[in-house]
Amino acid sequence: MKKIGIECENLEDPKSRWGIGQITLNLLREYAANSEWHKEFKLYLYFKKRVPDDEVFKNPIFVKRVMGFPSFNIFYHILMPIRAMLDRLDWMFFPAYQLPPLYFGKSVVMLAGDVYHEYKNGNLPLRYRLSYRIFTNWAAKFATKILAMSETSKREVVKLYNIRPDKIFVDYLGVGSKSRFAKGHEEQHTKDEYLLYVGQAFPRRHAKETILAFENLTTKYSQILKNLRISDLKLVCIGPDKYPKSTINSLMAEINKKLEREAVIHRDYVSDNELHELYSGAKALIYVSDRESFGLPPLEVLAYGVPPVIMDNELGHELFNDFAFFSRGGTSEDIAEAIKEALTNSKKAEKIKKSGPEFVRKYNWKSFADRFFGELS
């Protein structure tokens, strides 16, 4: 039986489980549900301070290691790799893009061009940019295998980090099954008409421009969209403000004052059930990002037959084909034009409603886990 270690610090706070946390959690759920894998692999989970309360972690099939030290750097770069080597693992999975130099065993590191751009040109604090610069490049050079989330991402990682393509395997992420969530969501948001933004509000995801685009819809396009009760339309933004200077709440207040109603609503976090309720009732999801390695929210909303509005780029066409509306750029005008198209192109919207859920089934967590464990066999 092969022993596989997985770094799980990203799961400890449920309110901080965005991309990496969701990937790790769904991988563990798929493993727990597959009794054949239990015979072939033993999973060792490494936590910084605590094991979270999710039902999956109560399963005795996992070996859980808690380092019990509050410092992330000491946990990640010293305690965890030493403990993992003492456990004599066959493989160790680092989903957070960085390989600790003290870990000398066989490793899989998830890597993306996003982190390269963050340490080169991003607005993160200096200590985070230094960490990414040092330890993502260390991973590119010394990891046994690199996991990329799309073919577009793989090509970018090869170019940016100068990695041999045969060292990288592509494993498409999955979209959560609607059956995991409470029934009746489709009826819960029929009273309010709203657009939806989901994701951490980085500048590259154009949350600010999305809010300004929404304002444009209610003014510049009010006559074109008058049959859609545009004066009642809302924009619901879910995700923490990650701008260098706090931006979202002040802009929301300014727009709401201008429109004389609670037109823009912002929450840092919602539960999985609340999120999928919001998905099911949205008119469209806005996720216009300069760079992504995958980007789950647009595919998740497509599972409900709701049209996503995304950036017109190589990744968008790789993942979505014609099952999305594309924004030419990241300006508020570009985004407003794409939203207008999503709201008025009834033929394409109907195609997405009818065929989108079937199209998106090819992106599922079982396939992700199959490919992942297959690489480690």
pTM for the full predicted model: 0.86
- 41-47 and 2-7 strand pairing: parallel
Q: What CATH code is carried by the domain that includes residue 163?
A: 3.40.50.2000
For position 226, what pLDDT does the model report? 65
CA pair distance 274, 14, nearest whole angstrom: 14
Say if residue 187 is exposed, middle or buried (CB neighbours under 10 Å; 0-12, 13-18, 19+).
exposed
In the chain, the number of structural domains is 2
What angle do helix axes 19-33 and 365-376 make, rounded to 10 degrees?
80
Residues 326 and 369 in one domain: no
Report residue 184 CA to chain centroid gap.
Answer: 25
193 and 151, same domain (yes or no)? no
For each of the chain's 377 residues, which pLDDT tens digit applies? 999 999 999 999 987 787 899 999 999 999 999 999 999 999 999 999 999 999 999 999 999 999 998 999 999 999 999 999 999 999 999 999 999 999 999 999 999 998 999 899 887 788 889 999 999 999 999 999 999 999 999 999 999 999 999 999 999 999 876 544 434 444 444 457 999 999 999 899 999 999 999 999 888 776 666 666 777 899 999 999 999 899 999 999 999 999 999 999 999 999 989 999 999 999 999 999 998 889 899 999 999 999 999 999 999 999 999 999 999 999 999 999 999 999 999 999 999 999 999 999 999 999 999 999 999 99
13 vs 53: CA distance, rounded Å:
10
Answer yes or no: do 283 and 205 share one domain. Answer: yes
Sheet holding 2-7, edge to edge: 63-66, 41-47, 2-7, 91-94, 107-110, 145-148, 168-170
Task: Indicate if 190 and 170 belong to the same structural domain.
Answer: no
Please give the pLDDT value at position 121: 85
368 lies in the same domain as 325: no
CA-wise closest residue to 239 among 265, 208, 210, 268: 268
Token pair of 295, please?
């980007």
Query: What confidence score (pLDDT) does residue 248 get?
Result: 97
Whether residue 215 sits in one domain with residue 130? no
The rounded distance, in Å, linking the Cα atoms of 216 and 336 is 7
* Residues 343, 242 within the same domain: yes
Q: Is 5 exposed, middle or buried (0-12, 13-18, 19+ CB in 10 A)?
A: buried
- From the list 38, 43, 50, 42, the residue with the least C-alpha distance to 11 is 50
Do 139 and 69 lie in one domain? The reply is: yes
**CA 171 to the chain's CA centroid:** 14
Element (H, E) at 138: helix 126-142
DSSP 3-state assignment of 310? strand
Specify the pLDDT at position 223: 65
Size of the chain in residues: 377
User: What is the structure's pLDDT at 180?
Assistant: 45
Q: Are residues 198 and 342 in the same domain?
A: yes
Nearest to residue 238, comparing CAs of 203, 285, 288? Answer: 285
Domain that holds residue 119: 2-175+364-376
Task: Tell me: do 205 and 139 sit in the same domain.
Answer: no
Same domain, 237 and 268: yes
Same domain, 356 and 303: yes
